[in-house]
Structure 1
Amino acid sequence: MGGGHIGGPGATSPSQRHTDFPLRVLVLSEMVGAIIGRQGATIRTITQQTRARVDVHRKDNAGSLEKAITVYGNPENCTNACKRILEVMQEEADNTNKGEVPLKILAHNNLIGRIIGKAGTTIKKIMDDTSTKITVSSINDINSFNLERIITIKGSIEDIAMAENMISARLRSSYESDLQAFAPQSAMFPGLHPMAMMSTVGFGLPRGSGAGGTTTGAGMGMYGSSPTSYPPLYPTPMPAQQGYHGSEAAEESAYLYIPNSAVGAIIGTKGSHIRNIIRFSGASVKIAPLEDEGRPTEQAERKVTIVGSPEAQWKAQFLIFEKLREEGYGVGVEDVRLTVEIVVPSSQVGRIIGKGGQNVRDLQRQTGSVIKLPQQGTTTSEDTTVHIVGPFFSVQSAQRRIRAIIQMSAPSSIGAASTGRPSRGPLMPRMHQ
């Protein structure tokens, strides 16, 4: 996670951790040394006394003024650990004449409205009950790669700890109700934790774009219509996460085709945008060079190879679709439509097509994407390329369902499906706008 972490005796195991809703706080980088202590002594004492697990993300965002700390554990333990961290920071501030130390809680944008309440009633009541002053950072400060809002609490350490406990309880219950509301959608995306879906819902996508052509897509529209409400993964958006079911999540390969004219936007100034995509998603993302460099070319598209877990695929592909949408590659009210290719074992093609093409017709109807693959028996190689065309949620749903079909029917073929080699067969026209 880009920093040290120390688990107390009551800390959760990695397999349990994705079910927790941790406390995330932002501290001044200059305070990190005091929080960790000499040879980790201070942070070790905090974890032992509070039975919470504390992750200090000190290697992330090198050179930044502030660093994130994530605290895992039950609510009481998280609050106690937070209180101890505040005490350490206040002591450090006193020694350096820095004055009062506020607590800065990082919170998912989609949960902020429920902290503030209608006309600010909820946050005002918390302030009144705890004798604290609480402010929330502007929605304008977030974007695709700066994903959380900051709740700043000022007051005495006792009062701040009380306010944190009340805010965290509300964040936790709001998150759990969101997760529950999202659960029915997971049937559209087998093999993917609902939290990964929640990681992209509501970020400026036109209402009506989505899986199956429904007006809400994969739960779209649940969270209000703010164009900048791109949530991170609710519990912890650290980029090194390797999936929600443990780090053993199988790597998959997918090939996304983007207009040649959009390559510069995806790469960004000096590679900044593609680096952010890689960092946030945890996937490997590589754009193929022009096929015929040095001479004028009619090549309309470039192949992007994405390798990573299901969750990494979701995030990387979303960010590419989203960038193209921002750059105006959708047509009118139509969302951006791209081709994604995945490679499946040729032995499974018949199962995907179904009797008389019934399965593939059902897949197209249910996901809203166009799916093309050769007739069964027409390919002689071990692998077959499946072409999927549509907007983001449609192609994601199709990918997940096709991979689930393969996984259920041929466990021994999973590796071939997820690490497939590029096809040398003829490719269809890939941009349908």
Structure 2
Amino acid sequence: MFLFQVGAIIGRQGSTIRQITQQTRARVDVHRKDNVGSLEKAITIYGNPENCTNACKHILEVMQQEANNTNKGDICLKILAHNNLIGRIIGKGGNTIKRIMQETDTKITVSSINDISSFNLERIITVKGTIENMSKAEAQISAKLRQSYENDLQAMAPQTMMFPGLHPMAMMATAGIGYGSRGLYAGQAPYPGIYPAGAPTGAVETPETTYLYIPNNAVGAIIGTKGSHIRNIIRFSGASVKIAPLDESRPQDAQAERKVTIVGSPEAQWKAQYLIFEKMREEGFVAGADDVRLTVEIMVPSSQVGRIIGKGGQNVRELQRVTGSVIKLPEQGAAAATEDETTVHIIGPFFSVQSAQRRIRAMVLQSAAPPTGRQRSRSAAPKEQVSQSSDAPSQAQP
């Protein structure tokens, strides 16, 4: 992802950007709605490495022509990279960045770590030199970013089994800014691949609804001054986040918690919930040495409650053991017979409740998946079908 003044790049009625796309066979996306009022906008380039570099070079040529026409002098290239990548771009004792500068005859600087926050995890790599040399430097920097990203993604793969149905980049987007330094991913260095490495594939985008309960006295911190913090949560996560108002029919001191409704894809859910947990931790809503523990509710089909509980409660006990969260469901057979959905209460720190949510939703999705091959009657169900559901009571099967 790069920063440019985009007017000249887009061209009249988009003619210039179309020409660049056609010539380089790379997709060029201009984030015009970001940083409203700023002259510089982010541009993401998708494609194979060579095409991305060619597109970047064409953009630099357009920018230099515009600078010449307006007497603005030389231009520079600004590359956005996640903070967790910067160490490997700089290298031990600055060796990597020095080598790139020497080989490409450019000057390369990196913005201060003080510029990052929970909502902006990127630093700016600024490259100065001729267009030809800046293009060479960009190719080397992007190659290093891609290599580091792929290495860390591979190292993280075994851990993604804890979170079925969730693309690893959702976890990467939040690791290393609080919980990541001392939680489940301690020692790892994951991050979101939002530079020219391509968009994620296989990500599940089906919207989910989750209810998160926060202490009433924490609502102000979550909302922020004039709504600034909750707007940032919505913007960063891509989820809808709404805090329920106080119930005027009940005394205020009797309302210890407020319900937060979060609607979004699994990735959006992860990010929004993470930022709420993180804010609670920053504000000191912890019990002694324990981490922040909140209650999360998800809705599941009532017909699946028996499957989640398992024979004699063995499934739910295993879920609690593996995830480290407390999971509360209605007594077996008592799941609201008149209701289509039943509430599952999950209590624990962030990574625990995330793991429990993903596992329970995966169980529901697996059960709802259509059978493969020729449809068979229940009486003729194959042995492997029976063995799959043998740990759940018969009345819980759909």
Q: TM-score, normalised by structure 2?
A: 0.88
Query: Which residue of structure 2 aligns with residue 128 of structure 1?
Result: 102
Q: Deviation of residue 40 (structure 1)?
A: 1.1
Shift of 1:331: 2.6
1:394 is matched with which residue: 335, 349, 352?
A: 352
Q: 2:178 aligns with which of 204, 209, 213?
A: 204
TM superposition shift of 1:291: 1.3
2:246 touches 2:252 (CA, 8 Å); kept in 1?
no
Alignment of 1:13-412 (within 5 A): 24-27=1-4, 31-205=5-179, 208-209=182-183, 217=184, 219-223=185-189, 233-235=192-194, 244-245=201-202, 249-292=205-248, 295-378=251-334, 379-380=336-337, 381-411=339-369
Q: By how many angstroms is 1:293 displaced?
A: 6.5
User: Quick one: which amino acid aligns to residue 173 of structure 2?
Assistant: S
Using the TM superposition, give the Cα deviation of residue 64 of structure 1 relative to its aligned residue in structure 2, in angstroms.
2.0
Write the letter of the residue equivalent to 1:281. Answer: S
Partner Cα distance (1:268, 1:84) in 2: 42
Could you give the per-residue CA deviations for residues 48-68 of structure 1, whole angstroms, max 9, x where no partner exists? 111111001112221123210
The corresponding residue for 1:213 is none
Q: Give the whole-Å Cα distance in 1 for the aligned partners of 2:11 and 2:182.
A: 52
In structure 2, list runs of 5 or more residues that go unmatched.
371-398
CA change 1:340–1:244 in 2 (3 A) is: farther
Is the Cα–Cα contact under 8 Å of residues 93 and 100 in structure 1 kept in the other structure? Answer: yes
Q: Distance in 2 between matches of 1:97 and 1:294?
A: 67
Following the alignment from structure 2 to structure 1, what is the Cα–Cα distance between the partners of residues 306 and 187? 37
Change in Cα spacing, 1:357 to 1:58, as seen in structure 2 (3 Å) is same
CA distance in 1, matches of 2:182, 2:36: 40
Q: TM-score, normalised by structure 1?
A: 0.81
**2-side partners of 1:133 and 1:206: how far apart?**
33
State the Cα deviation string for residues 327-360 of structure 1 (Å, max 9, x = none): 1112333211100000111111111011111111
What residue is the counterpart of 1:212 in the other structure? none
Superposed CA RMSD in Å reads 1.8
Q: CA deviation at 1:136?
A: 0.4
2:156 counterpart SS class:
helix
Q: Is the 8 A contact 2:2 2:80 kept in 1?
A: yes
Shift of 1:138: 0.8
Residue identity matched to 1:363: L
Count matched residues: 366
| In 1: Cα distance, 2:129 partner to 2:109 partner | 12
Letter in structure 2 aligned against 1:301: E
Shift of the alpha carbon at 1:220?
2.8
- Tell me how far apart the structure 2 counterparts of residues 100 and 85 of structure 1 sit (CA, whole Å): 14
- Whether contact under 8 Å (2:285, 2:292) holds in the other structure is yes
What is the identity percentage for the equivalent residue pairs of Structure 1 and Structure 2? 73
Q: What is the CA deviation profile of residues 265-322 of structure 1, one whole-angstrom value per residue up to 9, with x for unaligned ones?
A: 1111111111111111111110000112795432111000001111110011001001
Which has the larger Rg?
2
Rounded to whole Å, the distance in 2 between the matches of 1:264 and 1:351 is 39
SS in 1 for 2:35: coil
User: Distance in 1 between the 2:318 and 2:28 partners?
Assistant: 47
State the AA in 2 paired with 1:235.
Answer: I
In structure 2, relative to structure 1, the CA distance for the partners of 1:360 and 1:57 (3 Å cut) is same
Q: Tell me the CA shift for residue 410 of structure 1.
A: 2.3
Which residue identity does 1:391 align to in structure 2?
A: P
Call closer, same or farther: CA 1:234–1:79 in 2, change over 3 Å.
Answer: same
Q: Residue 206 of structure 1 contacts residue 335 of structure 1 at CA under 8 Å; is this kept in 2? A: no
